[in-house]
Structure 1
Amino acid sequence: MTTLFDRMPVTVSDELRLKVLRSNILPFYQERLGLVEIKSPYELIKLCRRLEATKESVKSYKPPVKGNLFLEPDLECGTGQSETVKVREITVNNAGPQLCFRCNKPGHYARVCRVRTRLRCFTCGMDNVTKITCPKCNVRNSGNSSGSQP
């Protein structure tokens, strides 16, 4: 349409061109550009091209295929519907099921454990302390708690 405007014997202002272009573009573009301030016909064309590229990208989107070989099933892509995640039991060196670090129950890792209030030293497993505050694992804390200085 801009070429047709250029061929006219009378000069058409950018304001009139923009008004005609906006009223004749597809409703898809009118709807999305209704609240956008556009100052020139070329800016309108640029925005419409971006919208068209986005529309094509959305149209060609295919959700990832779910497989059964993922290491962490809770990180697997969902279908958009609410699903219950089945957690596989974890075993280490055929020594039986791996225990959760937080609740001492088998079948899941601490990062998916629902028990969030229990403190435990990551190194030695002492209850009610963290690795930083553990008297066994942190040399500075064990030295200060006994009263002797290094």
Structure 2
Amino acid sequence: MKYNPKFNIWLDNNVLIAMVKGSWTELDAKDYARDFKAAAIPLTGGDWANITFLENWHLGVPGIEPIIKELVGWTIEHNLRYSAHVYWPNTVKEFQLDKMVKKVPQRFELQRFMHPQQAFDWLETHGFNTDNQQRLAVD
């Protein structure tokens, strides 16, 4: 049986883009954290941004929360300055995300958007431009 990851991660200039899907187990969260950190390493020498597409993510077991919370802490310690979450409003999804994402107003800003273009536009106002937005159409 071939393992089918529940995420795609890629870099576009100094923006790390992640697209997540499905219901997550702790193994999914560990794989994501590992791959996210590996992809982010080239960016950590300066300020960088992130867009995470969560529309097709269907929550996770409670065990994912400390794993993702640690990942968020790592990203902030390694110069992540702006993060955009893209998904249609969902109270249950927001509840779990809020448990995992800590806010550090002086160094880190998180915004939520319903449409991808809004997220790209917001990051652009902070100097984080991307070249390959069309990649979003792949998934």
- Give TM-score scaled by structure 1 length: 0.20
Structure of higher RCO (CA pairs closer than 8 Å, 6+ residues apart): 2
- Give TM-score scaled by structure 2 length: 0.22
Pair member with larger Rg:
1
Which of the two has greater strand per residue? 2
